[in-house]
Amino acid sequence: MTEHDYTKAKGDGTLDGKTILVTGAGDGIGRAVAIEYAHQGATVILLGRTKRNLEGVYDEITDYGYAEPAILVVDLADPASDAFKTIGAAISGEFTQLNGIVHNAAELGMLTPLENYEGALWDQVFQVNVKSPLLVTQQCLPLLKEAPYASIIFTTDESGVKPKGYWGAYGVSKAAILHMARMWAIEYANTHIRVNIVDPGPCRTGLRLLTHPGMPMKRYTPPEAITSIYTQLMDCDVLGHNGELFYAQNFINPDLDDRTEKDLATSTV
């Protein structure tokens, strides 16, 4: 996995003073977005199920000299756990408002025909990919309402935008999250809260390695290169967007894209 060599200097301060929750922040796109938010001046709340991974991201952020992040170790697959039920309370105990949420955590399940899909695994995928973003958003709404404006970003996938065979619960859940996000956007259209959706596209992540085993990961976009759309959707300009779907591959930062011409010439989804 590529790791961008951030400098000690902050970015342009686009997100100065903002507090943003990122789920699935321990690796992949969540890690990259969290570090970029910190780079732009935000205080980031890192939520994930693996403490060691979150601590690694925490160390990266503080080593760069950015604002100290907070860590929430939560298994989103277990809604009965105390940690899950108290996410909102834990955040309100440290912060007076929340400027945004990035719902990035995801459960793949398995790639198999629908006729073979196990019900228990289907439920687990929907718990992480659909139900947990709903419940986390509900818990955080009081804090989001305290901010001058707030942004919620839901994450879909190409298999949720356009049906693809064998993607099972993952594909269906990503279609559901696209629909649910737009429902949130309609219901909060007359408030200062904006809700949008990002399809990251094929990126160099652990999930991509699972879905495309044997493919050279260097073919895919490094997560750091697609973070600009996530930053734009946390800036005040987001007030002009609501219920929209953004394809992160249309916002690639060439300075952070380490793929060579040979990689791009042989690129595949």
Active site residues: 170
Contact (Cβ atoms closer than 8 angstroms) between residue 105 and residue 132? yes
- Report how far residue 263's alpha carbon sits from residue 219's, in angstroms, rounded to the nearest whole number: 5
* Euclidean distance between CA atoms 22 and 162, whole angstroms: 26
Contact 54, 71 (CB under 8 A): yes
Query: What residues contact 162, with CB distance under 8 A and at least 6 apart?
Result: none
Residue matched to tokens 């949420």: 101
DSSP class of 67: P
CA-based end-to-end distance of the chain: 17
